[in-house]
Amino acid sequence: MNIAVADKDVAATRQKFYDRLSPRAMAPLWEVLKGLVPEQPKSKFAAHLWKFAEARPLLMEAGDLLTAEEAERRVLVLENPAMPGASRITATMYAGYQLIMPGEIAPAHRHTASALRMVLEGNGGYTAVAGEKTEMQRGDLVITPAMSWHDHGQENHKPVIWVDGLDLHMVNFYEAAFMDHFNDKSQILSKPVGYSEAEFGSGFAPMQHRRPFGPTSPIFNYRYANARPALLQVASAGEPDANLGHALRYINPQDGGWAMPTIATWLTYLPKGFETKPIRSTDGQAIVVLEGEVTFEIDGKTFSASESDVASVPSWMWKKMRASKDAIIFTMSDRAAQEKLGIYREERK
């Protein structure tokens, strides 16, 4: 028998078998195994840079179109261009630019997803979390633990703008999302300003051990006024890591781990002219430039970023950074979750 004819007969016989499996909600693993267990990660997402100079006018225009109360959260979602309509900056992370106008309150609600705010324009705006209010200044990292009541507002005459970061796509993957609305615009404040920082962030802790937010840090405002000088002082005493630069991570003071159970966060200082060596890792990253100017080379593409720009670095793509001015950048990623699952991996050159 002709070999080509024989192969065709075998293929037809197999296809008839597969056709019998489908109505019974079954499929042959050997036909899909390579896609399920690849040799290495191959992200569906793209490296990209969002320019704040382009986003801010559009954000202010949105401020004229609808109120914070109408929108609930007035945010321009940073959608990865490879996945339009998915509300994802990386495979697992959501990010967006949020705006609060003078006199507004973004109504109180709570949800399963953990959230963070990296403040770009604070101007005296505030966030209230679990009965405590904190003023927001540029560079502050403000955390909203899972299922904690939170609202945002501005009592001064200038807008407040920050970058949101949420793990909601992780939560939604497990089909475990819940959300509640408070019975008023803003929650009742039961603690003085600075209470959490005094109780847990001054090198002290309560005599009776407690975790008010479970696995999330009990400090919900990591102030840039404290973080920046600490980072620069550490940088002054040693050489930068060849692949990372000078980097410090935000920690949960109760256990020394990441400040959030699913989202890793850290600050990096890159001296003018310093260029990192290539590194790639399995976590998808979103990077916010707080100071200076940085050139990112991601997956062979070059992006020039300045203050308040946001870059996405998908999983397992080579990344290099070069500072044309002294630069400080903030990074958030799903590394915290990956480490707990035992799947985080990185490679350096």
What is the CATH classification number for the domain harbouring 270? 2.60.120.10
Specify the number of domains making up the chain.
Answer: 1
Report the mean per-residue pLDDT for the chain.
94
pLDDT for residue 94 is more than 70? yes
End-to-end CA gap in the chain = 54
100 within domain boundaries: yes
The pLDDT of residue 3 is: 61
282 confidence band (pLDDT: 50, 70, 90): very high
Give the mean pLDDT of 293-298: 98
pLDDT digits (tens, 9 = 90+) for 156-206: 999 999 999 999 999 999 999 999 999 888 888 889 998 899 889 888 888
Element (H, E) at 115: strand 115-121
Cα angle 262, 265, 267 (rounded to 5 degrees) comes to 175
CB 217 within 8 A of CB 260: yes
Non-local (6+) Cβ contacts of 165 within 8 A are 93, 94, 95, 115, 116, 117, 118, 263, 286, 332
Q: Which residue has the higher pLDDT, 230 or 7?
A: 230
Range of the domain at 327: 48-348
The pLDDT assigned to 336 comes to: 98
Among 151, 83, 66, CA closest to 117: 151
Residue 344 placed within a domain: yes
In this predicted structure, the answer to whether residue 66 has a pLDDT above a threshold of 60 is yes
Asked whether the predicted pLDDT for residue 5 surpasses 70, the reply is no
Q: How far apart are CA 147 and CA 214, in angstroms?
A: 11
- Which whole number is the average pLDDT over 24-30? 95
Calpha distance 108→113 (Å, rounded): 15
Query: Would 305 be classed as within a structural domain?
Result: yes
Quick one: pLDDT at residue 68?
A: 85
Please check whether residue 274 is in contact with residue 320, taking contact to mean a CB–CB distance below 8 angstroms: no
Q: Confirm whether 192 is domain-assigned.
A: yes
Indicate the burial class of 195 (C-beta count within 10 angstroms; 0-12, 13-18, 19 or more). middle
| Contact in structure between 109 and 149 (CB atoms under 8 Å) | yes
Task: Identify the weakest region by mean pLDDT among 4-8, 43-47, 69-73, 85-89.
Answer: 4-8
Residue 25 belongs to a domain: no
- Rounded Cα–Cα distance for residues 136 and 131 (Å): 16
- At residue 69, the pLDDT reads 82
Has residue 97 been placed in a domain?
yes
Distance of CA 144 to CAs 129, 135, 149, 166, 208, Å? 7, 14, 8, 9, 23
Residue 194 DSSP class: T
What pLDDT is stored for residue 31 in this prediction? 92
pLDDT value at residue 71: 87
At 208 the pLDDT is 86
In a domain, 229, yes or no: yes
Task: Write down the pLDDT at residue 77.
Answer: 98
Residues 6+ apart with CB under 8 A from 46: 80, 81, 82, 312, 314
The pTM for the full model equals 0.94
Q: Residue 53: what are its φ and ψ, rounded to 5°?
A: -60, -30
pLDDT band at 4 (very low <50, low <70, confident <90, very high): low
Mean per-residue pLDDT, 266-276: 98
Average pLDDT over residues 238-266: 97
Contact 82, 71 (CB under 8 A): no
Question: Residue 277: inside a domain, yes or no?
Answer: yes
For residue 186, the model assigns a pLDDT of: 87
DSSP codes, 288-331 = EEEES-EEEEETTEEEEE-TT-EEEE-TT--EEEEESS-EEEEE
